[in-house]
A and B are shown apart, each in its own frame.
Chain A
Amino acid sequence: MTKDLKNLPKKERMEIPRVKMPEQDPTERIHNFREVPCGLNEEQAMLEAARCIECKKQPCVSGCPVEVDIPGFIKLILDKDFAGAARKIKETNALPAVCGRVCPQEEQCEMLCTLGKKFKPVAIGYLERFVADYERENNLVQAPKVAPATGKKVAIVGSGPAGLTVAGDLIKLGHKVTIFEALHKPGGVLVYGIPEFRLPKKIVQAECDAMADTGVEFENSTVIGKMDTIDELFEQGFDAVFIGTGAGLPNFMGIPGENLIGVYSSNEYLTRSNLMRAYDFPNNDTPIIHGKNVAVLGGGNTAMDSVRTSLRLGADNAYIVYRRSEAEMPARIEEVHHARQEGVQFHLLTTPIRFIGDDQGKVKAMELLKMELGEPDASGRRRPVPIEGSNYIMDVDLVVVAIGNSSNPLIPRTTPGLDVNRWGNITVNEETMETSRPGVFAGGDIVTGGATVILAAGAGKKAARAIHKYIMEKK
């Protein structure tokens, strides 16, 4: 069969239908936290790999923020060298098992796929996930080759996708790397933010363990800016510092009743459930509110993660309340689709104007206002305008505010000379990711504001290159 696939004429390859990802049935999965997509098997993966027509231009590669050799790894799948394919990806992307799951491929590599012009694009994300899982589950992960020690030390602040990428690249170049993480577990948003049903935590742990095996040191429960400042890290002998602390400062609506019990930020709701495993209370000690009528405010991936979590925690009614229309939703189509399948109800073009509490200070309802789309705003999306007199009341016992994050000021406040823009994001040279402080680099959400895992990883790659150059040239 393998041989047949490889020798198949292009035309026939193109006509192979795109693989369908097997998934847990929606009626079953809303009662558990297990991963929703089940992954491809070997046959499915090879058949899907055969759909790649090995076009010359390779537009998919330019659509990838970390420039994975996509046709290269797909070819290895056809050769049945799955572990080799995983290693091919790892040449440029340290986190394939993560990215294969959470990257928005439909806006990146797959959007540009040549096959996509006439047919459906190759399922690059599914294949990436398949080979990474194959390599890990069959214990075929090899420690990367590490260059001779340079004697240089780099401190990385934050162990999310940006920090892990920088660490993975710099350790291979022979530098000593220490990652400082504020929480008790490494992984950043991959651990506290993205739910188990979308990214199993054991995968993140395996990635971090693999890095630790290569020599990366993890110092968890260490808040830079409080325990040590950036300047003190230099005093301790670090030659460069990378700041990848994420966008951790939740935005609220600023409307009456927001401090009622039962109004969470998405960060708090997801951290309780994911990092603290509150879904398994009382086997784990952290409690969480189990709402029956849950409204999640926002239209991004975090909103979808929150609303789907609420279903798994027993909500009878789970609503997305979003002030624009579905077309403007920033969430991945797949996430919106999964949410709909699971029974999430969408209240679009709707915005809350106040929360109403009971005498114990718990939220019991909210007042909403209908909107219509007006002229495009600065983001290019049509601005929602309130419809006068359209107010109505919705009964809710849990509200999750998922309208984005601002940048956390802990490090800028304690680092003299570190420039930030008017939103508090650290400003950098976009080629090198170097900040206004020599030897201090930054990347990920702390620079861009809330974005994606792969963009953070892309920034990490750039920063790693620049840090290497900086410390090797430094006298």
Chain B
Amino acid sequence: MPKVVDNIQIGPMVWKMRVEIPRLVKKAKAGQFVILRVNETGERVPMSIAGLDRENGLLTIIYQVVGKTSALMTTIPDGGEISDTVGPLGVPSHVDNWGTAILVGGGIGIAPIYPIAQAYKEAGNKVITIIGARSKEFIFYEDEHKGVADELHICTDDGSYGHHGFVSDVLKQILDSGEKVGMIMAIGPVPMMRVVANLTRDYKVPTWVSLNPLMIDGTGMCGGCRVQVGDETKFACVDGPDFDGHKVDFDTLTKRLGAYKEQERAAMKHFIAEPGCRLAPAVEGFKYPDEK
């Protein structure tokens, strides 16, 4: 079983886990993902790759506590184990030299744009990175992004850090400034990716988004991850996870992501109620976004 080297909290409900899995790390490329299963009764969950330490064979995953599986992940101690890790899955992000490329990362999406920024930079691009979150304590990876990006913009919805506003506001300013941008890649919550794609459509700048629908096997076998892209139905696991943001049907994606909302909540409640639950720190104050 893969060893969890360390697993630390880096923000409210945001955790960073490093897993030792050299064979996978050797093969993985920016933009791909892995599927994890925490324990014998666990579900299979896709996770973006948030960093690859090839020298030490370490895979970095950044995750947010949104339900039972992610809550369970926080209980794995440093030096502990995770039941299964499979990957690398999906098609690596398309990397080319477009001159200037913009990476937009929102919320937990701040993580997976980091290895893609590295790849864009290595390909010779001028890399402009925009990261944003609700407030200051949700911003992470600032130093990492600083180390790669030619320009780094930070936004918070409440103005507690950096630019007061959304990532799309900063993106619009850059596009309006006359900077010639060859490629935009946006990863984050679906509403953010939708706003970015709608904005850049008018500017006719090619825009990729990385989608994270529900999955089981991750090899094309189940079709659970299907997304509507233009006239076609695509499987995010084998055709994606990156798609042309101007063609993605975000509405269907949003609905499908909520397919098991009630069951997920029941599972979380059931879990929190378990006697001897070691999760107190991770689930204390846990709320769903629409809960008061």
The smallest C-beta distance from B264 to any residue of chain A, in angstroms, reads 7
Do the beta carbons of A184 and B86 come within 8 Å of each other? yes
The smallest C-beta distance from A268 to any residue of chain B, in angstroms, reads 4
Roughly how many angstroms separate A309 CA and B256 CA in the complex, as a whole number?
23
The smallest C-beta distance from B32 to any residue of chain A, in angstroms, reads 8
B100 interface residue, CB < 8 Å from A? no
Do the beta carbons of B220 and A184 come within 8 Å of each other? no
Q: Identify which of B87, B221, B238, B259 contacts A261 (C-beta below 8 A).
A: B259
Most buried by A among B37, B85, B264: B37
Do the beta carbons of A268 and B224 come within 8 Å of each other? yes
Binary interface encoding of chain A residues 269-303 relative to chain B, with 1 for a CB under 8 A from any of its CBs, else 0 = 00110011100011111110100000000000000
A420 interface residue, CB < 8 Å from B? no
Total B residues in contact with A, Cβ cutoff 8 Å: 44
Do the beta carbons of B85 and A361 come within 8 Å of each other? no
Q: Identify which of A182, A289, A361 contacts B217 (C-beta below 8 A).
A: A182
A214 interface residue, CB < 8 Å from B? no
Do the beta carbons of B233 and A259 come within 8 Å of each other? yes
Report B-chain residues with C-beta under 8 Å of the C-beta of A275.
216
Beta-carbon contacts under 8 Å, B76-118 to A: 83-89
B64 interface residue, CB < 8 Å from A? no
Roughly how many angstroms separate A250 CA and B255 CA in the complex, as a whole number?
22
Chain A at the B interface: mostly helix, strand, loop or mixed? loop
B69 interface residue, CB < 8 Å from A? yes
Q: Identify which of B87, B224, B260 contacts A226 (C-beta below 8 A).
A: B87
Report A-chain residues with C-beta under 8 Å of the C-beta of B264.
287
Q: Identify which of B37, B89, B223 contacts A250 (C-beta below 8 A).
A: B223
Report if A282-B233 is in contact (Cβ < 8 Å); known contacts: A223-B89, A408-B219: no
A421 interface residue, CB < 8 Å from B? no
Beta-carbon contacts under 8 Å, B226-242 to A: 226-228, 233, 238
Roughly how many angstroms separate A259 CA and B252 CA in the complex, as a whole number?
8
Do the beta carbons of B223 and A223 come within 8 Å of each other? no
The smallest C-beta distance from B112 to any residue of chain A, in angstroms, reads 18
Most buried by B among A267, A276, A286, A360: A286
Q: Would you list 30 pairs from A and B whose C-beta atoms are within 8 A, ordered by A residue?
A: A182-B86, A182-B217, A184-B83, A226-B89, A227-B23, A228-B27, A246-B221, A248-B219, A249-B220, A252-B233, A259-B227, A259-B252, A261-B255, A261-B258, A261-B259, A267-B221, A271-B217, A271-B221, A271-B222, A275-B216, A277-B41, A281-B267, A283-B41, A287-B263, A287-B264, A361-B251, A361-B252, A361-B255, A408-B220, A409-B238
